């Protein structure tokens, strides 16, 4: 029996590199093409150099419109342009990793209805979906930190969020704040209170908790490490730590990749995995939620494959049983 064929649009970036690595070793699918006009004809390992000896795949400037699953790894705003210019088979499932279809106002596009692909929230809808808007990296870590509260109507006050992302969160393009000499031994915040992922986070919270009228005060930070997101969020909470832990563990009891730890957590537990690990702490009437993910995997390519697995009827964890870079 032939395996489902996979197409990847935009193959040179960090996220596409992770996607290619995972799909090469996925037992249920086969990569048909990796589309990149700037690298057409070059072997993939010329760009993603760790793949030397693993694959002889080449980048292509040809597109097979009949692939079973299409991943869009394009810059924000370019997925819409691409789908306006290219037509795919009615059976082709599309997973977009940009911001283009994440908000409710953008979900319906040229007859395609994009489902927001956060499996811990939307698993049933994802299983039936043909088109997925993969969540953002910060949005994933923050929503997973807050979902058990908002789904129980327990966010009654403002939420203060501080999150640090590694250098890969900025993509491969060089700028003053992405080069090594600037990042090394350095730390800074950016887009304070206005980060683009707030749109999808607020949207989810308001959909789950109709009476939510508080503020999310979000400070994103640049860390001097390569990958990972470390989130701390706190808000007023009227229950005990035991009640909070029970709420979170019950909410994520069937989640394939999200876990609640009784011990303090750190980034090395999740880097190079599709896991999200959460820890809770109370101080007087305040609940502190810590959430950690790998921004390129659970925050991007890993979650995209998790969505593909659900859409195609594969085991949810297929191709995603990865070892953390712990040492």
* Nearest C-alpha neighbor of 319 from the set 273, 264, 262, 280: 273
Of the residues 137, 151, 276, 312, which is catalytic? Answer: 137
Contact 29, 3 (CB under 8 A): yes
The pairing of strands 229-236 and 159-165 is antiparallel
* Nearest C-alpha neighbor of 34 from the set 22, 53, 19, 49: 19
Report how far residue 221's alpha carbon sits from residue 229's, in angstroms, rounded to the nearest whole number: 10
Q: At what angle do helices 119-128 and 137-150 cross, to 10 degrees?
A: 100
Question: Is 312 annotated in the active site?
Answer: no
Side by side, the strands of the sheet bearing 93-96 are 59-60, 30-35, 5-9, 69-72, 93-96, 131-133, 112-116, 108-109
Q: At what angle do helices 198-208 and 137-150 cross, to 10 degrees?
A: 20
Report how far residue 310's alpha carbon sits from residue 162's, in angstroms, rounded to the nearest whole number: 31
Contact 146, 202 (CB under 8 A): no
**Both tokens assigned to 140:** 């994933």
**Both tokens assigned to 225:** 């490490």
Instruction: Supply the residues annotated as catalytic.
Output: 137
């Amino acid at each position: 029996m032939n395996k489902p064929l996979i197409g990847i649009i935009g193959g040179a970036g960090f996220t596409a590199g992770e996607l290619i690595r995972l799909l090469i070793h996925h037992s249920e699918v086969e990569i048909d093409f990796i589309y990149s006009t700037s690298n057409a004809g070059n072997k993939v390992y010329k760009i993603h150099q760790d793949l030397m000896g693993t694959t002889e795949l080449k980048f292509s400037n040809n597109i097979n419109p009949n692939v079973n699953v299409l991943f869009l790894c394009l810059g924000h705003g370019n997925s819409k342009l691409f789908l306006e210019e290219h037509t795919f088979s009615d059976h082709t499932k599309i997973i977009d990793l940009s911001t283009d279809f994440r908000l409710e106002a953008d979900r319906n596009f040229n007859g395609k209805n994009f489902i927001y692909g956060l499996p811990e929230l939307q698993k049933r809808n994802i299983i039936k979906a043909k088109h997925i808007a993969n969540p953002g990296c910060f949005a994933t870590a923050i929503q997973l930190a807050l979902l058990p509260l908002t789904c129980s109507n327990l966010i009654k006050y403002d939420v203060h969020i501080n999150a640090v992302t590694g250098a890969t969160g900025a993509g491969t393009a060089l700028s003053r704040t992405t080069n090594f000499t600037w990042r090394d031994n350095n730390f800074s915040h950016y887009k304070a209170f206005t980060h683009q992922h707030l749109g999808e986070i607020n949207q989810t919270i308001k959909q789950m908790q109709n009476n939510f009228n508080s503020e999310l005060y979000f400070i994103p930070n640049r860390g001097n490490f390569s990958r990972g997101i470390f989130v701390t969020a706190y808000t007023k909470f009227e229950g005990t730590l035991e009640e909070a832990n029970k709420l979170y563990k019950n909410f994520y009891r069937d989640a394939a990749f999200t876990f609640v730890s009784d011990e303090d957590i750190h980034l090395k537990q999740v880097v190079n995995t599709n896991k999200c690990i959460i820890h809770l702490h109370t101080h007087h009437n305040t609940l502190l939620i810590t959430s950690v993910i790998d921004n390129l995997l659970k925050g991007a390519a890993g979650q995209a494959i998790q969505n593909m697995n659900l859409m195609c009827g594969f085991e949810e964890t297929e191709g995603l049983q990865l070892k953390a870079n712990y040492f």
